[in-house]
Amino acid sequence: MKLPRFIIIVYFVCLSQISFAGDILKGKEKSASCVACHGADGISVNPVWPKLAGQHAKYLETQLYEFQKGADGLRNNAVMYGIALTLTDEDIEDISAYYASLDKTIGLTDDEYLNIGQSLYRGGNMEYKIQACIACHGPNGQGNSLAGIPSLSGQHSEYIYQQLKNFQSSDRSNDYNKMMRNIAERMSDEEMKSVASYIEGLY
């Protein structure tokens, strides 16, 4: 009976390749210090703090490593710097796997912002050469884990707006190839508010 044993070995090798790097249960325990701001189950109550539930693990890890670098990094945030410093690489993997495993919640798009927000997200702005968000973040705002593109769907509009401002001023510059800075530079304040509100209700 050589064949079955061979198949079992191949099965376990494959399983180890596709399994998550982080441990979800350990991540849940380790996330106790995040709850105050990012909320129970990764749904923050205050809209300036991002929801983390359902975000891609790889993207969360990248951000936490960037926060750890503080002023030497490309996403310097005083609050998250202090917090990220206390995390080991293993903590980062576990916590990211945990938040990625949770369900998102979707908010509402303000009627006032729907038209501009939707047209920018889905069609961009030809006149100002603003690329459509849909090209990278996808039709439902789900992003692309392998390409390092975050999920936006349902995120608080206040937080989204602030990140667009940060890309525009290059306070946040961890976007590979200036993918987001090139876009945010060309956006008006009204476009940022509108697309942020559209994203809050997008799923």
Indicate the residue type of 105.
Answer: T
Cα atoms found within 13 Å of the Cα of residue 117, Cβ hemisphere only: 21
Residue with Cβ nearer ligand HEC (15 or 36): 36
Q: What is the contact mask toward ligand HEC in residues 81 to 100, using x (rule: CB under 6 A)?
A: --x-----------x-----
| Cα–Cα distance for residue pair 162/196, rounded to 1 Å | 9
Query: Which of 50, 80, 78 has the alpha carbon at shortest distance from 152?
Result: 50
Residue selected from 10, 21, 29, 33 as contacting ligand HEC according to rule CB under 6 A: 33
Residues ≥6 apart with Cβ < 8 Å to 77? 67
Residue selected from 79, 85, 106, 108 as contacting ligand HEC according to rule CB under 6 A: 79
Q: Supply 70's token pair.
A: 């503080």
Residues from 160 through 199 that contact ligand HEC (CB under 6 A): 160, 162-164, 174-176, 179-180, 183, 195
Q: Supply 132's token pair.
A: 């459509």
Residue with Cβ nearer ligand HEC (11 or 176): 176
| Cα–Cα distance for residue pair 73/67, rounded to 1 Å | 7
| Cα–Cα distance for residue pair 86/95, rounded to 1 Å | 13
Residue selected from 21, 115, 135, 188 as contacting ligand HEC according to rule CB under 6 A: 135
Chain length of the chain: 203
Residue selected from 37, 39, 118, 158 as contacting ligand HEC according to rule CB under 6 A: 37
Residues from 115 through 134 that contact ligand HEC (CB under 6 A): 120, 130-131, 133
Residue with Cβ nearer ligand HEC (37 or 114): 37
| Residue 153 contacts residue 203 (beta carbons within 8 Å) | yes
Instruction: Answer yes or no whether residue 156 interacts with ligand HEC by CB under 6 A.
Output: no
| Cα–Cα distance for residue pair 37/35, rounded to 1 Å | 5
Residue selected from 22, 62, 153, 200 as contacting ligand HEC according to rule CB under 6 A: 62
Instruction: Answer yes or no whether residue 150 interacts with ligand HEC by CB under 6 A.
Output: yes
In this structure, how many other beta carbons lie within 10 angstroms of the beta carbon of residue 42? 24
Q: Supply 99's token pair.
A: 């938040």
Residues from 4 through 23 that contact ligand HEC (CB under 6 A): none
Residue with Cβ nearer ligand HEC (18 or 126): 126
| Residue 39 contacts residue 111 (beta carbons within 8 Å) | no
Q: What are the residues binding ligand HEC (CB under 6 A)?
A: 33-34, 36-38, 49-50, 52, 55, 60, 62-64, 75, 77, 79-80, 83, 95, 120, 130-131, 133, 135-137, 148-150, 152, 160, 162-164, 174-176, 179-180, 183, 195
